[in-house]
Amino acid sequence: MRESVYQMITVTLPDGSQKKFEQPPTGLDVARTISEGLARDAVAMELNGTLTDLSTPILQDARVRLVTTRDPEALQIMRHSAAHVMAQAVLRLYPDAKLTIGPVVADGFYYDIDMPPVSEEDLAKIESEMKKIIKARLPISRRTVPKSEALEFYRREPYKLEMISELADGSISFYQQGEFTDLCRGPHVPHTGFVKAVKLMKVSGAYWRADPSRAQLQRIYGTAYFSNKELKQYLRFIAEAKKRNHRKIGTAMDLFSFHDEAPGMPFFHARGMAVWNVLLDYWRAEHRAAGYVETKTPIMLNRALWERSGHWENYRENMYTSAIDDTEYAIKPMNCPGGMLLYANRPHSYRDLPIRAAEIGLVHRHELSGVLSGLFRVRAFHQDDAHIFMRPDQIEAEILGVLQLVDRIYSTFGLGFHLELSTRPAKSIGTDQQWEQATNGLASALNAYGRDYKINDGDGAFYGPKIDVHIKDALGRTWQCGTIQLDMSLPERFDLSYIGADNEKHRPIMIHRVIYGSIERFFGILIEHFAGKFPLWLAPLQAVILPINDELAAGARQIQATFEDAGLRCDVDDRTESLNRKIREAQLQYIPLILTYGKREADAGTLSVRTLDGKVRYGIPHDDFLRRVSAVIREKQIEAEVF
């Protein structure tokens, strides 16, 4: 018999150095050859580009990167393990509970569980049990079994059984910690002690697989960090975010409301409309300056149009429909098809292009009631849409123009942003040449723009690549609002064309783009960004005059009229309340300028001006007041000290 010859295993580290092993090592073995400190800090490893458990054997020569608590992937891996710890704690306290799934989300994790309703008191009990599991430092181990064995193991767990039944035949992985076993792909941290700091945040209802006809589950949310310091920072952030909640501030400032008669469809009050109109006036001015024309398309169009655009087939469940004169209609969920009809209304020459057509379009989308969230997720909203029709040689210049417009608008509100370029997905339409031309056009514009951007391979729309714009607010939160999409589908579907310099018909390239995105959502973001303290140019009520007695009310009204003629949004509070109370109420409504008007001011033709920082300036003449205020409003200053 021939003896087998064992070959040494070579592990190549990110810096190019190599480690050789006589026996197949695990990631932990590799870490220990470097230092015991690294071994204690290692969470997982990247094996030939794939994240896996630290305990995975390395069976052949490989590239290995050790993932420590300082690496960005580590937090997600640990939070995934924290979801298992929570599920284990739930089963200890509620043995009859049935588990479904427990994914990681942006700021933590959740687990959907079929169990009795959970209260805040119950969350404290679950969290306490979790801390016992964490303190025990239970080893977390992985094993794989055939599908038949997995089905047998979960024969009394209907949700797990359903998920396993849908998997392809082959090996299925389980993870175990103490008495708890869960179906999972992994990877996980080596033991439960890595979940250093944990907090259960809230509980909500969720249907199994988002299907209202299925069981309603308890969705328990939590977060976890590698240190108590990080957890405390996050909880402070959450507390500040709660103070900035746009629904709470919007109610206090009398901006908008929601009513049962129209779920998910906001009602804007007079003061809310003041902000709304300022946003639109500014938007229109910037777009006029950038060479756009404004258009308007109907809110309701027939089924034939939506079939032609592809929405009836692919988006029908999100659309509201009706029948008129025996014809089916749909309320538009987006503006694009109407924009196609406008372009096709007359012939175009290459000399006409680019055509930049903008529309503030009211659209409706059927969202499930469970996902509605103030102004952030609604069923009726306005998109600041625009469709740019252009020649292929104009792609770079037009994209660059949109990016510059985005920069001007967002910077006016003090919002930073970053850019992401999403390329061709696995399922797409169009030729390789079209995609290459479109993607190169976007990339060239981004490079000419001069800002760093991230590439999301394969994350483009099926009809074309896109640039997503993610804004950053005062709390450092990011929101995806703006998007710039190249579309090769709708011009084809609607047979759009222009006559080229060669006197032949050509297909235009089209850009979809929004900047505010949804005006309702952008409004909500601004409320939270400014914490209700809008800059003077944007404030719903810019000034309030407080006469100190009834005899001075008429004079206050005359001043109000003068200020309103100058374009200032101003009111008079002449109620029979104490001055201190009226000042306090004005501060709670975040009115930037609180003007006290007493006998001394009436005799001198001046005002006493109180600002939201609590400072008071006395003896300001009316003309001087208007001059200073008008300059700040005209220049749209954000943090200007008017006085």
Q: DSSP code of 507?
A: P
pLDDT of residue 344 exceeding 90, the answer is yes
Mean pLDDT computed over 49-65: 96
Task: Note if 387 is an active site residue.
Answer: yes
| pLDDT higher than 50, residue 14 | yes
pLDDT in tens, 506-533: 999 999 999 999 999 999 999 999 999 9
Average pLDDT over residues 582-607: 95
The whole-angstrom separation of Cα 271 and Cα 266 is 14
Q: Residue 120 has what pLDDT? A: 86
Residue of 365, 382, 569, 582 with catalytic role: 365
With bands split at pLDDT 50, 70 and 90, how would you rate the model's confidence at 2? very low
For the domain spanning 256-297+332-529, the CATH number is 3.30.930.10
Q: Would you call 160 a catalytic residue per the annotation?
A: no
Calculate ∠ Cα 108-114-115, nearest 5°. 100
Task: Identify the residue with better confidence: 352 or 5.
Answer: 352
Q: Kindly report the pTM of this predicted structure.
A: 0.82
Residue 642's pLDDT is 75
Q: For residue range 398-433, what is the model confidence (pLDDT) as tens digits? A: 999 999 999 999 999 999 999 999 999 887 777 888
Instruction: Report the alpha-carbon distance of residue 628 to residue 117 in Å, rounded.
Output: 57
Per the residue annotation, which of 244, 382, 387, 610 is the catalytic one? 387
Q: Is 512 a catalytic residue?
A: yes
Question: What pLDDT band is residue 133 in, cutting at 50, 70 and 90?
Answer: very high
In the CATH hierarchy, which fold is given to the domain comprising 9-68?
Ubiquitin-like (UB roll) (3.10.20)
Distances (CA, A) of 19 to 29, 55, 59: 11, 17, 14
Instruction: Confirm if 519 and 276 have CB atoms less than 8 A apart.
Output: yes
- Arithmetic mean of pLDDT over the chain: 93
User: Looking at the domain 73-235, which fold is it?
Assistant: Threonyl-tRNA Synthetase; Chain A, domain 2 (3.30.980)
Which candidate in 88, 383, 394, 560 is catalytic? Answer: 383
Predicted confidence (pLDDT) at residue 441 exceeds the cutoff of 90: no
Distance (Å) of CA 352 to CA 145, 347, 356, 501? 65, 10, 10, 12
| Domain regions of the chain by residue span | 9-68, 73-235, 256-297+332-529, 543-634
Closest CA to 163 of 204, 212, 209: 209
β pairing state of 593-597 and 543-547: parallel
Give me the mean pLDDT over the 39-63 stretch. Answer: 96
Average pLDDT over residues 71-92: 97
Among the ranges given (243-252, 440-449, 499-508), the one the predictor scored with the smallest mean pLDDT: 440-449
Beta strand pairing status for 570-572 and 543-547?
parallel
What is d(CA 288, CA 358) in angstroms, rounded to the nearest whole number? 10
Mean pLDDT computed over 106-132:
95
**Catalytic site residue 232?**
no
Q: Please say whether the structural domain 543-634 has been given the CATH code 3.40.50.300.
A: no
DSSP string over 364-410: E----GGG-BTTTB-SEEEEEEEEEEE-GGGHHHHHHHHHHHHHHHH
609-628: average pLDDT: 94
Are 85 and 56 within 8 A, CB to CB?
Answer: no
- Give the pLDDT confidence score for residue 603 in this predicted structure: 94
**Catalytic pick from 184, 336, 481, 570?**
336
In the prediction, which pLDDT does 6 show? 56
The four Cα atoms 491, 495, 496, 502 give a dihedral, to 10 degrees, of: 120
Q: Which burial class, exposed, middle or buried, applies to 157 when counting CB atoms under 10 A from its CB (0-12, 13-18, 19+)? A: middle
Rounded distance, CA 434 to CA 107, Å? 38
Residue 49's pLDDT is what? 94
Output the CA–CA distances (angstroms, integers) from residue 44 to 48, 72, 78, 254, 636, in the order listed. Answer: 13, 12, 10, 51, 50
pLDDT tens by residue, 232-271: 999 999 999 999 999 999 999 999 999 999 999 999 999 9
- State the DSSP H helix or E strand holding residue 43, giving kind and residue range, or none if neither: strand 42-47
Candidates 466, 513, 569, 582; catalytic one: 466
Active site residue 529: no
First-to-final CA distance of the chain: 97
